[in-house]
Structure 1
Amino acid sequence: MDGIFTALMVSYDQDGTINEQGLREIIRYNIDVCKVDGLYVNGSTGENFMLSTEEKKEVFRIVKDEVKDQVKLIAQVGSINLNEAIDLAKYATDLGYDALSAVTPFYYKFDFEEIKHYYNSIINSVDNKMIIYSIPFLTGVNMSLDQFAELFENEKIIGVKFTAGDFYLLERMRKKFPSKLIYAGFDEMLLPAAVLGIDGAIGSTYNVNGQRAKQIYELAKQGEIEQAKEIQHVTNDLISEIIENGLYQTIKEILKDKGVNAGFCRQPMKRLSEEKVAIAKDISKKYL
């Protein structure tokens, strides 16, 4: 379960309907062109939190049907509706997903005992493994080293997607939990995370920049830091221009420039102007 995982995008028609053919094309581009090691399905990048339960299941189904066993699959099932999270966990497990993940419950100020109950309830309902999805800047949930230790007492909780800038905590986690999987969640900080000994990374820009991400990760493991640094510089130039133009929309336009039917983002995400679509195409040609 180590390596580079794409936080998978989903193709939507202009009315927000899932475009199955487009989703399959995105999957194929990730596997065949970006050469990623796995896919992280129904995360933020897939616009998951704007989908109904049945739509989330449809995405899980299409992805598994297209991928079969070509790469590893992680199903993000987290929801502040615990019953939905458990339902999705059972569905993805029955489909044969290699592991589950769940974002920390957000919006309400859940205390740690409630968060612990949430994770244990989900993973103990199925015969599968859990990867915590920690993304404090969006959820407002910051957990300490001791709290992660409590969660990891459940042997079915095998790791964390660490999308935070606290690299002191990352280093402490790596030292304290050598047998747990740690995935870096910030694409722009892949190299420093790799130097600290992560097991892989999960990111949005890997939908188009997966090959460079794999190079950075492998070079860092080999101790080729200067070469990895140069690739990270180029990667961060790309990321900066994508973010400035509109993150998800621009990645989809880059995919379209590569011949992939990546569709549109769901409302209330806005459409790119013609000027920004042109900028996205320029980014595609400049970096990819």
Structure 2
Amino acid sequence: MMKNADMKGIYSALLVSFDENGKVNEKGLREIIRHNIDKMKVDGLYVGGSTGENFMLSTEEKREIFRIAKDEAKDSIKLIAQVGSINVYESVALAQYATELGYDAISAVTPFYYKFTFQEIKDYYNTIINSVENRLIIYSIPALTGVNMSVAQFGELFENEKIIGVKFTAADFFLLERLRKAYPDHLIYAGFDEMMLPAAVCGIDGAIGSTFNVNGIRARQIYELAQAGKIEEALKIQHVTNDLISAILANGLYPTIKELLKLQGVDAGYCHRPMASADEGQKAVAKEIFDNYLG
């Protein structure tokens, strides 16, 4: 039996509702959380990731989002707090706060912008997780961080027993397969929604995705069908999912998902500047996407 098996499943990368001035819209955020729990039926939420526009926020705003998410979700689902930052002291403080709130695990993106050595990256992860009694999931997203790690380097990080897995947001299925074979007792979550089926075939333990905020039901179907070996059925749903994702990406990822939530009665608010919110043209396209795939 895999250790930490309680953390398997489908997690929405939580969107955050902001007002016109970039402040957290608590009412809207609570509505997004409820929508994920009640309508999308997710197993958990990944709070404070890229989808939450996290890297544009102050430490206090990040704490506010962690607090609201825990208060709204209570213990009904699993909660992972993404605390990663290029300021490791902020990460430690956030890790401690999320742990005090009762988050089931923390996660941290690989430190970015500067070309950190692997030894510096290893020190960063150990510094964060050794500051709390909790579990840590590495957030690997090389396309945005420029940080690529090998199977052996993941293994070095996994030597710390409190580092239990990785959110694998990459299209490198060779590396994914090698990781799965080398570390069968560690959790691997797929991070690219459009590639969930091939990742599932490689033996992932779940997935964390931004489009799950509106497409969580299909995400679960793909995952569970793949686990049951029903690949042809899963592929049909992945086709529809990828048609939806293609349309969303062409219209602007986060603004469009927020508009799709609004069409379901959820106060998803504005994007955090400098990210632009949807204009009238994008709103019209979002309505077409909703009618075609979610209505």
Question: TM-score band (shorter)?
Answer: over 0.9
2:132 matches 1:126: yes
Indicate yes or no: 2:274 matched with 1:268: yes
Aligned length: 288
Aligned to 1:233, which of 231, 239, 262? 239
> In the TM superposition, what whole-angstrom CA distance separates every residue of 1:147-175 from its partner, at most 9, and x where no partner exists?
00000000000000000011000000000
Gaps of 5+ in 1: none
Deviates more, 1:269-278 or 1:31-40: 269-278
Out of 211, 214, 217, the residue aligned to residue 208 of structure 1 is: 214
Task: Write the distance in 2 (CA, Å) between the matches of 1:181 and 1:101.
Answer: 12
Q: CA deviation at 1:271?
A: 2.4
Out of 21, 28, 34, which is 2:27 matched to?
Answer: 21
Partner residue in 1 for 2:224: 218
Q: Could you say which residue in structure 1 is the equivalent of 2:185?
A: 179
Aligned equivalent of 2:18, options 3, 12, 22 = 12
Residues 167-222 of structure 1, C-alpha deviations (whole Å, 9 max, x = no match): 00000000000000000000000000001100000000000000000000000000
1:282 & 1:79 partners in 2: Cα distance?
A: 37
Q: Give the whole-Å Cα distance in 1 for the aligned partners of 2:44 and 2:28.
A: 18
- 1:279 corresponding residue in structure 2: 285
Deviations 1:37-76 (A, max 9, x none): 1000000000000110000000000000000000000000
Q: What residue number does 2:3 align with? A: none
SS of corresponding position for 1:254? helix
Q: CA RMSD in A?
A: 0.4
2:185 partner SS: coil
Q: Deviations over 1:224-259 (max 9, x none)?
A: 100000000000000000000000000000000000
Identity across aligned pairs (percent)?
72
Partner of 1:55: 61
Q: Distance in 1 between matches of 2:193 and 2:13?
A: 11
Partner letter of residue 128 of structure 1? N
TM-score by length of 2: 0.97
Deviation at 1:272, TM superposition (A): 2.0
Structure 2 partner of 1:168: 174
Amino acid of the structure 2 residue aligned with 1:17 = K
Aligned residue in 2 for 1:94: 100
Match of 2:254 among 248, 251, 276: 248
Distance 2:231 2:138 in 1: 29
1:93 Cα offset (Å): 0.2
Secondary structure of 2:30's counterpart equals: helix
Task: Tell me which of 189, 194, 199 is aligned to 2:195.
Answer: 189
For 1:144 and 1:282, the matched residues in 2 are separated by: 42
Counterpart amino acid of residue 136 in structure 1:
P
Q: Structure 1 residue runs of 4+, over 2 Å off?
A: none
Alignment of 1:77-156 (within 5 A): 77-156=83-162
Q: Is the 2:251–2:282 Cα contact (8 Å) retained in structure 1?
A: yes
What CA distance in whole angstroms lies between the structure 2 residues aligned with 1:223 and 1:139?
34
Could you tell me how far apart the structure 1 residues matched to 2:278 and 2:88 are? 35
| Aligned residues of 2:259 and 2:278 also touching (Cα < 8 A) | no
- 1:130, CA displacement in angstroms? 0.3
Q: Distance in 1 between matches of 2:108 and 2:290?
A: 32
**Aligned partner of residue 115 in structure 1, secondary structure:** helix
Shift of residue 282 of structure 1? 1.2
2:37 aligns with 31
